[in-house]
Chains A and B, each alone.
Chain A
Amino acid sequence: MQNQKTNKKRFDFSNWLFLFPCLGLLILCAGWPLIRTVFFSFTNASLDNLNHADFVGISNFISLARDQDWWKAVLNTFVIAGISVPLETFFGMIVALILHTNFRGRGLMRAIVLIPWTIPTIVSARMWAWMLNDSYGIINELLLQASLIKTPVPWIASHFLSIVSIIIVEVWKTTPYMALLLLAGLQSMPQDCFEAAEVDGVPLRRRFTSIILPMMKPTIIVAVIFRTLDAVRIFDLVYVLSSGNNSNATMSVFARRHLVDYADVGFGSAAATALLFFVAFLGVLYISFNHRKLQKMD
């Protein structure tokens, strides 16, 4: 008994030793800015006065909670994330299933599908902004030519439509990522189930709902968690594709506006910290929820 305990301890120590370089780097790159931001959120720091800031307690958070624009930004963020993540999962699943079948040029296809994900977001956002322009954008031109619309649609100039456009572009951009994660899940599944089902003559739809979906569940859950956490932080797309008006801002855009444009580092940091809590809360919620579910499944 005693021997086992010491053994475990030594094991832990070497674990930490190997983890140290990575952890050290993380603390340096992620931990320090994070702590600094949380620290600033309790001060009245401004961009031109970072060192002489005064401690103001939680007053930044109180005014944040009272700020209508902030709650609007929270709502916008969750609308965008809440609609785009299910869509991405749906399309990603279709793409993954297609890529999972055997056909010629599959390797090339897999590489091509990834293109939207590999283009830097700011570049693709700018590209889409041009394509969605109402007078010289190609999207309106195509829709007009096909007689689907009669007058050009101001895609990125109205509150509602710009959110729609943001969701469309977000789905276009991240579907490949979803597909990639789901494809990995598909490929790690044991093939004998499928073969057995095929021999037994189970129809395709049944095979999907009764075999693939249940077996894919853990993968789907992980993919959805990743994407949701990512989607809640959405910034660059919104920054480029919306008119800059407060009514379209997401949480990150709101935080940036106060941090940089208004130079209000204290308040902006409070917004950034609140965003962090949202993300952390979501993460914990998801993990604990799914942990229980996964255990049940086992």
Chain B
Amino acid sequence: MKKMKKIFMLAIAFAIGSVNYMDAVTLKITCRSKGKELEVLRKSIEEWMAEHDGKHKVEIVTLPHASNECFALYQQWFGAETFDVDVLQLDVAWVGIFSDYLLALDEYCAGHLDMNDYFDIIKENMYGNDGHIVALPLYTDCGMMYYRRDLLEKYAKPVPKTLEEMYETALYIQNEERKDESKQNKFYGLVLQAKAFEILTCNFAEILDACGGSIVKSGAVEINSARGMYAIEFMIKCLKNIMSRSVLNYSEEDARGIFQSGNAVFMRNWPYAYALMSDPSTAVAGKIGVMTIPPSADNGKESGVLGGWFLGVSKYSKHKELAADLAMFVTSKAQQKIRVQFSYLPTFRSLYSDQEVLKMNPFVANMQKPLLKAVARPSKAFGKNYTKASSEIFNTINTILTESVDNTEDFNANKLMNRLNEKLSRLLQEKQQKKITDAPNDDGKTGFFRSILDQITGFFGKR
């Protein structure tokens, strides 16, 4: 009898234990390890776990450093359909591409999100292809122009209002500064990033936007429009006269290296550079100002390309509700406020006038305007073809710039831009057609062998 009781007790204990076990969940979230991102996320997660009385656990999966490698990794995961990561960190340009694999979050965030407080351009990117909210903005980024306040003052030049004025100012100061022998060979008017990578697509997209052009407009590619040609010619002019030709191999940190050591008047970069260059040990601390990418005098608009990261929940997550809860917690206003001290820009408009935020990081006040003027890359228009499109863009622009300074014999920017336009149009069409015919493949893993069989039977059928 005693034995029976023991067994009975054991069974109950086991049952309770297993119920508890079923309830406690371990979620997986991906995170980049650039800068302080990992550390910040860890703190947010601890708070979230405390809020759930420590019942659930969260595991962080770190991502590769380069964003194109993260992208490839995600594609493999989604392709395999069997991975167990619940919450994913996504670049703003990927939301549209991966939207078919992301959980619609509308029902989870209904009533919890202050949609009107998001910047419009960020809000647009939260929606997937079918109009549902699929990603929540974590922090944002925006291309902008840094300038040397002290140098502008030294030569009594105003902060330029247009691209053309910026060019003239940069050229003037460059020539004046180069009279000093020690700066003869290494002082430049402008630095930006023209390495043939995604960053060049960003750089070009914002100059194009500042010149009043666009890559895709109402469903058609128009990168070779008159404004497009003006933008590329402006870049060539800059490269020939006020930039080192090495920018053709520069990414963000190379450009910062030049500007931070005091060897340039203007620099195009992301906000992250500001915090690093404010360090008193740098040559430019306290001497820099920021502005949007200035508009072209002829029909232009202020600009800056939109960057930043989102959190999305995988469609294949086994704990959808909890995962959505975690994503919402980490991207909430309160959490974004904490991130400000690490120079991660909030995605809520109200935080830009929040006294506490401004006290923590006064720089944030400068950023509202660039964000209001920001332009997105055409990732939605190209969908899964975006990486190909972007690579066509940066390769062509890099080639044009290289050939323009090499004075290649048959150099013809027009021809190259027209060819680029054709290629992009083809990619855009391909994507639009895909949308119609992209029916889910229901015969599963037999697809490959079926198609071989089809080919063989087709082959003999013809005979």
Interface residues of A (CB under 8 A from B): 43, 46-55, 57, 133-136, 144, 150-152, 154, 156-159, 162, 242-247, 257, 260-263
Contacts and interface: CB of A to CB of B under 8 A. Distances in A.
B72 A244 contact: no
A144 B184 CA distance: 12
Contacts, number: 116
A46 B194 CA distance: 29
A90 B451 CA distance: 53
B48 interface: no
Contact of A244 (B78, B196, B384, B387): B196
B412 interface: no
Given A47-B79, A48-B78, A152-B186, A243 B68 contact: no
Given A49-B79, A54-B448, A244-B196, A136 B261 contact: yes
Contacts of A257: 391
A135 B387 contact: no
A124 to B, nearest CB: 17
B448 A55 contact: yes
Contacts of A49: 79
Nearest to A42: B452
Interface in B236-277: 244-249, 254, 257-258, 261, 263
Interface in B448-462: 448, 451-452, 455
B72 A263 contact: yes
Interface stretch (B122-130, B285-293, B394-402): B394-402
B78 A157 contact: no
A261 B68 contact: yes
Closest 9 CB pairs of A and B: A48-B79, A244-B196, A47-B75, A245-B196, A157-B249, A48-B75, A54-B451, A157-B248, A134-B246
B440 to A, nearest CB: 10
B75 A157 contact: no
B451 A133 contact: no
Contacts of B399: 245-247
Given A156-B246, A243-B196, 19 more contacts: A48-B76, A50-B76, A50-B79, A51-B448, A52-B445, A55-B452, A133-B246, A133-B254, A136-B257, A150-B185, A154-B245, A157-B246, A157-B249, A246-B196, A247-B399, A261-B68, A261-B387, A262-B387, A263-B387
Contacts of A246: 196, 395, 399
A246 B391 CA distance: 10
A150 B185 CA distance: 8
A57 to B, nearest CB: 7
Contact of A245 (B185, B261, B395): B395
B131 interface: no
Nearest to A48: B79
Nearest to B443: A52
11 contacts: A47-B76, A48-B78, A53-B447, A135-B258, A150-B185, A243-B195, A244-B195, A244-B197, A245-B196, A247-B399, A261-B391
Contacts of B441: 52
Interface in B291-305: none
B387 A243 contact: no
Given A54-B451, A55-B448, A157 B247 contact: yes
B409 interface: no
B42 interface: no
Contact of A154 (B244, B444, B448): B244
A49 B395 CA distance: 26
Contacts of A152: 185-186, 244
B4 to A, nearest CB: 52
B249 A156 contact: yes
A48 B384 CA distance: 10
B80 interface: yes
Contacts of B245: 134, 154, 157-158
B448 A43 contact: yes
A57 B455 contact: yes
Contact of B185 (A43, A50, A55, A151): A151
A263 B389 CA distance: 13
A134 B244 contact: yes
A260 B248 contact: no
A53 B452 CA distance: 11
A245 B248 CA distance: 9
Pick the most buried of A43, A46, A247, A261: most chain B CB atoms within 10 A of its CB: A261
A243 B248 CA distance: 7
B46 interface: no
Interface string B164-205: 000000000000000000000110000000111100000000
Contacts of A247: 399, 402
Given A152-B186, A157-B249, A158-B406, A52 B448 contact: yes
B72 A135 contact: no
B69 A260 contact: yes
Contact of B263 (A135, A150, A154): A135
Contact of A262 (B76, B194, B244, B391): B391
Nearest to B456: A55
A243 B398 contact: yes
Contact of B406 (A52, A135, A159, A260): A159
Contacts of A261: 68, 72, 387, 391
Given A55-B448, A156-B249, A263-B387, A47 B72 contact: yes
Pick the most buried of B249, B257, B452, B455: most chain A CB atoms within 10 A of its CB: B249
